[in-house]
A and B are shown apart, each in its own frame.
Chain A
Amino acid sequence: MADASDPNALLPLKNSTYRVLLALADESLHGYAIMQSLQTITGGRESILPGTLYAALARMEDEGLIERATAPDDDTSGGPARRYHRRTDFGRAVAEAESERIATLLDVARSQDMLAERAK
C-alpha cells in the first residue's frame, strides 16, 4: 500500500494509471465508461484496452488511488452489475504530482522548440 501522505512515492506513474486518473476526473465511472471517457477527453488520441484497464483498476484500488463507488440510480444497462470507481483525494494528489512532473519536462521541451503551442 502506498504511503497515503506522500503522493511522490508513486512517481513516476504507469501510463495506464495516469490515464485512468485523468479519465475518472471527479466522477464515478464503470470500466467501459472510463475507456470512453479517455477517448473523449483526448479527442480519440488515447485509448486503453480492457485488459490493461482492469488490471490497472485492481492495482490502483490496492494503492488507494481509487475506491469503489455505488452505482448511480440511473444505471440501466440491464446486464450484470457493473463496478463503479471514483478517484480518492490521494489519487487526485498523485495525479497532480505526476502532472507537475510532466509539466517540468514539457517546459524543457518547449524551450527547445520541440512543442508547438496547442489550441485550447
Chain B
Amino acid sequence: MIRRTTSALYALALRSFPKAHRAQYREEMIAGFRNGYLERVEASGQLAGLGFGLTATANALSAGWGERRRVNSKGLPGQRGRVLEGLISDLRYASRALARAPMFTAICTISLGLGLGAVFTIALFVNFLHTVPAGVQTEDMVEVVVEPSGPLRPGVGGWAIETWAYPDYLDLRDTETGLSLAGWDVADSVLSASDIAPLDVSAMFVTPGYFELIGVSAAEGRVLTADDGGLSSPGPGVIISHRLWTTIFDSDPTTVGRAVRVNRREHVVVGIVADGFRGHINSRGARQADVWLPLGHHPIVAAAPDIIGDRSADWLHLAGRLDAGVTREQANGTIVALSSQLAEDHPATHEFRRGTAAPYASTGTNQIFEMAAISVLFYAMSGAVLVIVCLNIAGMMLVRTASRRQELAVREALGASRWRLARYLMSESVVMALIGGVIGIATLRAATVTLVWWFGGTLPPEWELTPSRIGACLLLALATTLLFGLLPSFRFSRGGMLSAMNDDAGGGGWKVGRAHRVAAALQAGVALPFFALGGLLFHSAQTAAVADLGFQPDGLYAASLRVQAAGYSEVEADAFVQGARERLEASPGVTRVAVADGLPLDYEYRRTRVRLPSEEISRARTQVTRVGSRYLETLGARVLRGRGIDAQDHAGAAPVAVISESLAARLFPAGNGIGESIVTAIDGDRDGEFTVVGVVADLATSQMQTERPQMFVPIEQQPSSRVYLVARARSDLEGMSATFSRVIAELDPDFTRPTVMSGEQLVDDSVADLLEQSTLSAVTAATALALSALGIYGVVAFMVTSRRREMGVRIALGATRRKLLVSVLIDTCRLIAPGLILGLALARVAVTQTGLLWEAPGLAEPVAYTAAVMAALVVAIIASLPSANRAAAIEPLEAIRAE
C-alpha cells in the first residue's frame, strides 16, 4: 500500500519534467525509484521506504521544474516554445484567410469597431458627467440641503431645496454640528479693467474658508481666506480662473496684483486657480465660475442689504466637510434638531423644511438620482449595442465556419486535437478583434471630435485618448473575442470527421441559435421608434415652420439686461430698466417696448404647477413668465378675453395673472376663467393666489413643440433677477442693435453692451433644433437598421447553408428556383415579425411619453409607423437576398450526391 501510493505520487511528480525528457528517462526513473525504495525497506523497514518515497517525490518535482526552466531558457524547442510558434503560425494563417474574404472581414471588423467606439464614447460621456473638478478633496465632503415636505414638496424640482437663508447659515455655522461649513452662490457679473471692455462673467461669491474647505489652492498667488472679510466688510481680493487668465488676460504673468472692476466695484486680483477648476460642482455652466469674490460683494446683497437678516430669502448654498471622528449620521442628527428648532421659532418660513447633510456629488446632490438614471440608461444602451454587435459577428462566424467543415475534418484526420482546431478557429476572431479594436479607437476619436465641434468649445481633458484608454479599448476588443469566437470554435471542433468528409448536412441541418434569431428580430424592431420619431419630428418641424406661434416674430427684438450683475441696488436697477424702456420707446422706428423675464422660444423652462384654491392636487403644469405692462401687445399676442398685464398691476396691487387659452380650458372647462382664482408657487416659493384678468390665445413657450399652457404675472409684483427689454420696431437687426447699444450707453457707459436677438432668429433656432432632433433620430435609426441587416444576413445565411440538401431535393422534385427564393424571403419576414411588433409598441410609447411632440401628430403618426415598418422589411429583404440567391442557385445533383 505504501509502495503503491508513493509510486503513484512519484509518477505524478515526474510530469514536472519536460515531455521530451520523460520520453527518454521516465521508465528508468521509475525503475530507479523502485530499486531505491526496496533497498531502504530491506535495510531499515517500511518507514524508511516511505521516507525515501516522499523525499524522492519532492526531489523529482524540484528537479523536474528546474529542468523545464533550463530547457525553456536555452530557447531549445521545449513545450512552451512550440506552443508560441503554433500561436504565431495560427495568427499568420488567420490573417491570410481573412485577407482572402475582404467583404466578410470588412463587415465584421467595421461592425465591431463601431460598436466598441459607441461603447467607449458613451462611457467617456458618462465619466465626463461625473468628473470631480480638479483639486477638490472629496473625502468627507457633504452638501447641506433642505428636504421639503408637505405643501412645499410639489413645487420643488429634484429631491431637495439647495439653498438656505443667510441667518440659517449663521445658526448652522455656530452650532456644534460636527461640520465645517462654507456658503457660496453663483451670479452673473461684469468684469472690466483699464484695458478690458466690460465682459459678462460667471462669478462665485463665497464665505471665508471656502477654498480651504474644498481643498483647492491657488496655482498663482493665493486663495481667499478669512482675512478677505465676511459679509459685512468684504475685502477687495478676487480670484480668477485659469481659463479667464489665458483668454482675457493673455496669460500675463503680472496679472496677480492687477486692478480690476467687478460689478462696478474696484478689486485686486490676488490669485489664479489651477487649470480645470471652475467651482466644486461639475454642472457644466449653471454653477461654474471664472471669478471668485467674498460673499459680501454678491449683487443680491448690494441690491437688497436687508437680505442678510431675511429668513424667507433662500439664496445661499452650503458646502461642508465632516470634522475628524464625526460621521454623517451624527452631523445629520444635529442638523435635524436645529431644523426643528427653526420650524418652531419661525413657522411661517421654516415649517416643512428639514436640513440634511447629503454626500457630495460632483454633479450636485440634487441631480444625483437623475444623473444615476442617465448613467444607467447610457451604460445599458452601450451594453446592448455591444451585445448585439457580438451576436451579429458570432452569427457570421458561424456561417463562415460551417462552410469550412470539410477543411476542419481534414485537419482532424491529420492529427489535430479538438483544442488545436478550436485554437485555429479562434485565431481569426483574435485578428478581427485587433483590427476592430483599432477601428473602435478611431471611431471614438472621431466621435469625440465631432461632439466637441457640434457643441462648440475645445476638447476637455477628460475626453483625451490616453494610453490607458487605448489599452482598455483593445482589451475589450479581445474580451469580446471570447464572446463571439468561442461558440463557433467549439461547435465545429467537436469532430464528426466522417460525416463532414461525406458532406452529410443532416436532415434538419444545424439549428440556428435562438439567441441569434431573437437578436436579429430585436434589432429590426429597435430601429422602429427612432424611425417613427424622426419622421414625426420632421413633420413637426415642417408644421411648426408655418404654424401659428401665437405672436408676431417679424419686427420683434429683445435683449437681456444684466442689471443685477451691474451692481445696482434694487432702486437703481428699477430706475435703469425704466430709463432704458423710455429711451428705447422714444427711439425712431420703435413702436412699442415692454419688459419680461422670458421670451417665446427662449429654451428656458420656467415651470410650475397650478391648481384651483378648492383643490389640493394640481390641474396642470404651466410655463410662467413675469411681464411688464403691454408685453402681450408688444409680442403681437391676441388677448381673447379680459385684458393683458398693464400699468395698474403694480407692486402692492392685488396679484393677477393672464392665462393662455389651453390652460383656461384645462382649469375652467365650463366657464371663461375671468375673475377666477388660481394657486401656484412661483420659483418654488410658497403658494400664492392669483386672480385671472385675461385669457390670451396660445403662444409658443420654451420651444416650438413644448406644451402651450402658460401664465403671465406682473413683474412688478413678482420681481425677477433676469430682465429682457422687448421692442417692436420698423427696423432691421443691425439698426436695432445700434439703437439698443446707444440707449444703454447713454444710461451707463460701463454697462455691458447687450446682444440683441430678433423674433425671426428665435423661430429659426427653434426650427433648426427640431430638425437636429429629427436628424439625430434618423441617424440612430439608420445605424440600428444597418446593424440589424448584419444580424439578419448571418442568420439567414446559416439557415440556407444548413438546409442546402433539402433545397436541392426540392428543386429536383420540381420546385422552381424563384419559388425557393421567395420561400427564403418569406422566412426572413417571419424571422423579424416579432421584433417589428415589439418595435411598434416601443414607437407608440416613445411618441406619447417622451414629450418630444406636444401637439397630436394626427394622420402623420400611422404614416410614420407604416414607413418605419416598410423600411425595416426592405432592409431585411436586402440583407437576405445574397443567401436567397444562393439557395436558388443550388445544383440538385450536387445536393443529392451528398446523400
Contacts and interface: CB of A to CB of B under 8 A. Distances in A.
B234 interface: no
B70 interface: yes
A32 B25 contact: no
A51 B31 contact: no
Interface string A52-65: 11110111001000
Given A50-B60, A51-B64, A59-B67, A83 B32 contact: no
B29 to A, nearest CB: 5
Contact of B28 (A32, A49, A59): A32
Contacts of B341: none
B59 A51 contact: yes
B33 A50 contact: yes
Interface residues of A, number: 19
Interface string B13-39: 100010001001101110111011000
Contacts of B17: 54-55
A31 B24 contact: no
A31 B28 contact: yes
A80 interface: yes
Contacts of B27: 79-80
Interface in B29-56: 29, 31-33, 35-36, 55-56
Interface residues of B, number: 25
Interface in B53-78: 55-56, 59-64, 66-67, 70, 74
A30 interface: yes
A82 interface: yes
A14 B61 CA distance: 18
A50 B24 contact: no
Interface string A21-40: 00000000011100100000
Interface in B623-648: none
Contacts of B59: 49-52
A115 B27 CA distance: 42
A30 B36 contact: no
Nearest to A1: B74
Given A32-B32, A58-B67, A59-B67, A51 B62 contact: yes
A30 B56 CA distance: 18
A51 B25 CA distance: 10
B29 A51 contact: yes
B563 to A, nearest CB: 92
Contact of B24 (A52, A53, A62, A83): A83
A54 B63 contact: yes
Nearest to A80: B27
A32 B56 CA distance: 14
Contacts of B61: 51
A31 B67 contact: no
A68 B24 CA distance: 12
Most interface-central of B25, B27, B55 (chain A CB within 10 A): B25
A30 to B, nearest CB: 7
Contact of A83 (B25, B33, B70): B25
A51 B60 contact: yes
Contacts of A53: 32
A35 B36 contact: yes
A57 B56 CA distance: 17
A52 B32 contact: no
A110 B32 CA distance: 38
Contacts of B70: 59
A52 B35 CA distance: 16
Contacts of B21: 54-55, 58
B56 A51 contact: yes
A58 B74 CA distance: 13
Contacts of B66: 55
Given A50-B56, A58-B21, A30 B67 contact: no
22 contacts: A31-B29, A32-B28, A49-B60, A49-B63, A50-B29, A50-B32, A50-B56, A50-B59, A51-B29, A51-B61, A52-B59, A52-B63, A53-B32, A54-B17, A54-B28, A54-B29, A55-B17, A55-B63, A55-B67, A58-B21, A62-B74, A82-B28
Interface of A: 30-32, 35, 49-55, 57-59, 62, 79-80, 82-83
Given A51-B13, A55-B63, 19 more contacts: A30-B28, A31-B29, A32-B28, A32-B31, A49-B55, A49-B60, A50-B56, A50-B60, A51-B29, A51-B59, A52-B59, A52-B63, A55-B67, A58-B25, A58-B67, A62-B74, A80-B31, A83-B25, A83-B28
Closest A-B pairs by Cβ, 9 of them = A51-B60, A51-B63, A50-B32, A55-B63, A51-B59, A49-B59, A80-B27, A55-B67, A54-B25
